[in-house]
């Protein structure tokens, strides 16, 4: 959330700056005035509580003096009792007012950076740059069909076991997915990142410190069991945010760079009908995430923001996937982001760009909730300084896998990107192993009408296929390793 001091004109700040940011977001400007109103009410009630406390202390001093003088204190005791009751009632009012103020404050988005394009339609995201030559070829197969032709995903069994958008990765699907994970982690390790494998769930109170309210309804799965309720993480960013909650960060240690790896879980409640086929948009997926903590000073976080984007670009360049970088329009920014880039890779069968990376600078918006402070703890600090937090996808592996399949397909299968081969036992090529349903049915009918002679070449060929490893991909020992 924003610093409440930004809403106070008497502290030399200009609330109009916040109103303008809300206008850029195409969000409620009235919310800013609501926060200002509730903040004034809260401070007035707090002032009244402080005055009652002073009165209580004054009466208490009078009682002490009368006791020392061995005088009657009954009248003062009655007065003190009434003041105590008034104080309790006023403290309750004050606490309720503060809760209301902070609830409204959390609904105000981060201050939009001046470089963000102002628009409310994501179709108007600003293209910053492109890389690579998009493959433009007719007759290409989309990723939904490719996973079936390769036999590396079982969607039918996945849906039966896990429900909608469930899936099993199989054989080289598993290896390709793990190769992306391991390549991503090695890629960031070489760039000075500290590797972290995060918890898959978080306590409710901790999740509330780093997730937007809308996420609880549209995105997060709740896990109920013994003790506190917990939520499955939607991104490694969430536990990474909380890793230093309640901490003071030494300026000499900054920036801190983490490479987070996790399985992620999303309800995708707001995306019905979008990319529901295949494994592009699923409820469970793996992700390697960049997460950085910087000082709030100068241009530090903005320089790191560009560096994180550069890392993601170099990752996809090494994979050989054409892409474009877009700056997200102001109306599509999530509340915590001051600015966000997306990297959208080219899917040649679909003839479109699809998002693979989101890279955001959240400045001190998240760290204020999490109490991640900048500097050394000092007595009687008048101003609280908070670190800046940034996050960027490196790879959501199932999505990246889909993009690789479309870009590296051939008439006979899919080539493995060179940088992934060392993580796949030097496998260079994945041949198609499954025929289309129509061809399968035709073959089955032909076989029923004309069974092959015992010992014939056709029979031997079919016997060899049926004695394969049973998951629709060739025996690993038959591939070039």
Does one domain contain both 284 and 165? yes
Does one domain contain both 356 and 250? yes
The bridge status of strand 323-327 relative to strand 126-131 is antiparallel
- What's the predicted TM-score (pTM) here? 0.86
What domain count does the chain have? 2
Does one domain contain both 223 and 317? yes
Does one domain contain both 98 and 140? no
Does one domain contain both 172 and 86? no
Which residue's structure tokens are 């293209």?
127
Residue 167 has φ and ψ, to the nearest 5°, of -160, 155
Q: Which is nearest to 2 in space by CA: 113, 104, 116?
A: 104
Residue-number span of the structural domain to which 217 is assigned:
122-413
Which of 52, 74, 105 corresponds to the end of one domain?
105
Does one domain contain both 164 and 85? no
Query: Residues 423, 241, 336, 376: is their CA dihedral positive or negative?
Result: negative
Which of 105, 140, 170 corresponds to the end of one domain?
105
Distance CA 367, CA 295 (A): 11
Cβ-in-10-Å burial (0-12, 13-18, 19+) of 259 comes to buried
Does one domain contain both 281 and 389? yes
Does one domain contain both 269 and 389? yes
Binding residues for ATP: 266-268, 282-285, 355-358
Binding residues: 235, 266-268, 282-285, 289, 355-358, 391
Does one domain contain both 223 and 316? yes
CATH no. for residue 323? Answer: 3.30.930.10
Binding residues for L-serine: 235, 266, 289, 391
Does one domain contain both 100 and 163? no
Inside any domain, residue 263 = yes
Q: What is the pLDDT along the chain (481 residues), one digit of tens a residue?
A: 999 999 999 888 999 999 999 999 999 999 999 999 999 999 999 999 999 999 999 999 998 998 888 888 888 889 999 999 999 999 999 999 999 999 999 999 999 999 999 999 999 999 999 999 999 999 999 999 999 999 999 999 999 999 899 999 999 999 999 999 999 999 999 999 999 999 999 999 999 998 876 777 778 999 987 778 899 999 999 999 999 999 999 999 999 999 999 999 999 755 555 566 889 999 999 999 999 999 999 999 999 999 999 999 999 999 999 999 999 999 999 999 999 999 999 999 999 999 999 999 999 999 999 999 999 877 677 678 999 999 999 999 999 999 999 999 999 999 999 999 999 999 999 999 855 444 445 444 444 444 444 433 333 333 333 333 333 444 544 444 3
CATH no. for residue 58? Answer: 1.10.287.40
Q: How far is CA 351 from CA 128, 327, 394, 408, in A?
A: 20, 21, 23, 14
């Amino acid at each position: 959330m924003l610093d409440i001091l930004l809403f106070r004109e008497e502290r030399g700040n200009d609330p109009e700056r916040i109103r303008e940011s809300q206008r850029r977001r195409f969000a409620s400007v009235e919310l800013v005035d609501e926060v200002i109103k509730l903040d004034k009410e809260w401070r007035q009630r707090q002032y009244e509580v402080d005055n009652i406390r002073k009165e209580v202390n004054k009466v208490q001093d009078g009682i002490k003096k009368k006791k020392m003088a061995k005088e009657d204190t009954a009248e003062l005791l009655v007065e003190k009792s009434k003041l105590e009751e008034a104080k309790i009632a006023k403290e309750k009012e004050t606490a309720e007012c503060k809760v209301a103020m902070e609830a409204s404050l959390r609904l105000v988005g981060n201050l939009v950076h001046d470089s963000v394009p102002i628009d409310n339609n994501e179709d108007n995201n600003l293209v910053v740059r492109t890389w690579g030559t998009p493959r433009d070829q007719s007759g290409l197969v989309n990723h939904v069909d490719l996973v079936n032709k390769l036999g590396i995903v079982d969607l039918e069994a996945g849906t039966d076991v896990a429900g909608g958008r469930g899936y099993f990765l199989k054989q080289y699907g598993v290896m390709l997915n793990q190769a992306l994970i391991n390549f991503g982690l090695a890629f960031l390790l070489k760039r000075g990142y500290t590797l972290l494998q995060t918890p898959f769930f978080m306590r409710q109170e901790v999740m509330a410190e780093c997730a937007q309210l809308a996420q609880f309804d549209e995105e997060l799965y709740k896990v109920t069991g013994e003790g506190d309720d917990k939520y499955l993480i939607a991104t490694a960013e969430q536990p990474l945010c909380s890793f230093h909650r309640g901490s003071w960060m030494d300026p000499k240690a900054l920036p801190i760079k983490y490479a987070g790896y996790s399985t992620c879980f999303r309800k995708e409640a707001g995306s019905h009908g979008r990319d529901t086929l295949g494994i592009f948009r699923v409820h469970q997926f793996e992700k390697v995430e960049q997460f950085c903590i910087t000082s709030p000073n100068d241009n530090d976080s903005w320089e790191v923001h560009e560096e994180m984007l550069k890392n993601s670009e170099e990752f996809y360049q090494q994979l050989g996937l054409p892409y474009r970088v877009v700056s997200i329009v102001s109306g599509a920014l999530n509340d915590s982001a001051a600015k966000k880039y997306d990297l959208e890779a080219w899917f040649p069968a679909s003839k479109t760009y699809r998002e693979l990376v989101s890279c955001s600078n959240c400045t001190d918006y998240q760290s204020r909730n999490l109490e991640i402070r900048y500097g050394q703890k000092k007595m009687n600090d008048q101003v609280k300084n908070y670190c800046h937090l940034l996050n960027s996808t490196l790879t959501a592996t199932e999505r990246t896998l889909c993009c690789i399949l479309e870009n590296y397909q051939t008439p006979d299968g899919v080539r493995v990107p060179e940088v992934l081969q060392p993580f796949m036992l030097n496998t260079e090529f994945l041949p198609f192993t499954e025929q289309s349903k129509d061809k399968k049915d035709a073959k089955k009918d032909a076989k029923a009408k004309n069974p092959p002679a015992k010992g014939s070449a056709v029979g031997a060929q079919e016997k060899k296929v049926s004695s394969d490893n049973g998951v629709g991909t060739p025996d690993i020992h038959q591939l070039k390793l």
